[in-house]
Amino acid sequence: MNREEKKILGLTTCSHGLVHLFEGVLPPLIPLMIVNLGTNYFHLGIVATVFSYAFGLGSLPGGFLADRIGPRRLISFYLFSSGLICSSVLFSNTLLVYGVLMGLLGLSASVYHAASNALLSLRIREIGTAFGIHGIAGSLGVSLAPVISALLGAKWGWKAPHVVFGLFGILLGLFSLSIQEARKAPPAPKKGGDSLKGKLFLLIVFFLTAAFLGITYKAVMTFLPSYMGEKIDHFLGLPLSKVTLGGTVATLALLSGSIGQYLSGRLVGRYRGEMIYLILISFGTTFSFLMYLGKGTFLIICSVLFSFFYFGTQPVQNYLLSRYISERRRASGYGVHFSITFGIGSIASALGGYIADRFGLPFVFLGASLCFGVSLLFGALLLKITDHGDGACGSDPF
């Protein structure tokens, strides 16, 4: 990689980790916020849903906007606006104000994924490796969010993690201004009707697979720290509170996701992407169900393996979409993808909160495993409809 590519990769990896710190700041604090704000799982699940809907659905206009003004400019907007909004949590004292701020935070952060993946696919030559490294950063952000948020919250109160993450975003925004914008791609040639219909069907199946994976992801990420705290009595004999124990064990389990990100990113450029995708979803479905059944050490092992296979699907998704979508529509394609993944997936927070209050946290993970199984069916269909070629749109992408 040349110097500019390294700067782009550095910006996107740090920004990717941060966006998942923003996303994961709430779940580890749920026990603290229930006490301090006098609320419950259901209402905090609604707040998480507000964030998630804004975070997911905002990706759609964000993708179209990135194709017009440029992905780097949109990344800078995300960093500055999200940093300011998250820091403003310091002044919130009611659940309503906090919920509004989290909705605004989700909206401002929503543009990131479409912009960053477009920037990587357009400006870096080793795209599979770049997606793998970029995915590792996101996986680390997801996995470190529980323990960082829990430790800061337990020490200085539930507002502290928000302020720390917000200030980091502003500093990273200043660095983003040193990177030049990408050049626009030329218009793509028009395509025949039959070819267009076939590629639309391919994209629909791909997006349905991503949608059910997104539901699983949001359910697990929202309630995993609390689930770990409930199902695990101790960890290495350390005298940890329920909040810190849940966040710490969840973080250790999720760290394996970064390994899955890296390995799948390396493999996807060498072997057929749709086959790798199906294999990862198959194992992920298995271990998501075993998480419902497990407790103690067995639960930790299943969580580690679930994280490895689930997060391994993400670089594969990004790689496949870069082959299904032309450069001219690249950011818009990623916008649709992340809008579906995070937008539809966000229903899992409120629904999961209701299920947890009514039936208990284990049933949240049972529902998540069923959604993973549905994505497995669509993944098999995706493999089947691409059997006629190498699984890509070749020289004539959508």
13-26 residue pLDDT tens: 999 999 989 988 88
Average confidence (pLDDT) over 197-203: 82
With b for 16 or more beta-carbon neighbours within 10 A and e for fewer, the 56-84 pattern comes to bbbbbbbbebbbeebbbbbbbbbbbbbbb
**Distance from CA of residue 316 to its chain's centroid?**
14
CB 27 within 8 A of CB 225: yes
CB 65 within 8 A of CB 74: yes
Confidence label for 391 from pLDDT (cuts 50, 70 and 90): very low
User: Residues near 31 by Cβ (< 8 Å), separated by ≥ 6?
Assistant: 226, 229, 242, 243
Average confidence (pLDDT) over 213-232: 79
pLDDT of residue 113: 87
- Residue type present at position 128: G
In this structure, the dihedral spanned by the alpha carbons of residues 210, 101, 354 and 247, taken in order and rounded to 10 degrees, is 80
Q: Is the pLDDT of residue 209 over 70?
A: yes
Average confidence (pLDDT) over 194-201: 72
**Distance from CA of residue 289 to its chain's centroid?**
20
Q: Phi/psi of residue 226, each to 5°?
A: -65, -40
Q: Is the pLDDT of residue 186 over 70?
A: no
pLDDT of residue 241: 63
Average confidence (pLDDT) over 301-327: 87
pLDDT of residue 166: 95
Residue with more model confidence, 295 or 208: 208
Q: Is the pLDDT of residue 393 over 50?
A: no
Q: Is the pLDDT of residue 309 over 60?
A: yes
The top-scoring range by mean pLDDT among 103-117, 189-203, 341-355 is 103-117
Q: Which two tokens stand for residue 201?
A: 């069907």
Q: What percent of the chain has pLDDT over 90?
A: 24
CA dist 82 and 89 (Å) reads 11
pLDDT of residue 87: 94
CA dist 246 and 154 (Å) reads 12
Q: Which two tokens stand for residue 147?
A: 């323990």
DSSP designation for 38? T
DSSP letter string over 236-274? Answer: TT----HHHHHHHHHHHHHTHHHHHHHHHHHHHTTS-HH
The CA-atom distances, in angstroms, between 165 and each of 23, 41, 162, 226 are 11, 24, 5, 21
User: In 88-192, where does DSSP find H-type helix?
Assistant: 95-109, 112-123, 127-156, 160-176
Sign of the C-alpha dihedral computed for residues 180, 186, 192 and 195 taken in this order: negative
Q: Give per-residue pLDDT as tens, 238-287.
A: 655 666 666 666 677 667 878 888 888 888 877 888 899 999 999 999 99
The CA-atom distances, in angstroms, between 240 and each of 148, 233, 254, 305 are 14, 10, 19, 24
Query: Is the pTM for the entire model greater than 0.85?
Result: no
pLDDT of residue 217: 79
CB 347 within 8 A of CB 46: no
DSSP letter string over 277-326? Answer: HHHHHHHHHHHHHHHHH--HHHHHHHHHHHHHHHHHHHHHHHHHHHHHS-
- Residue type present at position 242: K
Q: Which domains does the chain have, with CATH numbers?
A: 3-180+192-385 (1.20.1250.20)
CB 334 within 8 A of CB 119: no
Half-sphere exposure of 278 (CA within 13 A, CB side): 16
pLDDT of residue 378: 93
CB 366 within 8 A of CB 348: no
Residue with more model confidence, 233 or 275: 275
Residue with more model confidence, 248 or 191: 248
CA dist 106 and 258 (Å) reads 23
Confidence label for 222 from pLDDT (cuts 50, 70 and 90): confident
pLDDT of residue 245: 66
Helical pair 242-254 and 127-156, crossing angle rounded to 10 deg: 170
Of the candidates 162, 29, 174, the residue with the CA atom closest to the CA atom of residue 88: 162
Q: Which two tokens stand for residue 54?
A: 């804004």
Q: Is the pLDDT of residue 232 over 80?
A: no
Residue with more model confidence, 12 or 28: 12
The CA-atom distances, in angstroms, between 29 and each of 37, 159, 326 are 11, 9, 42
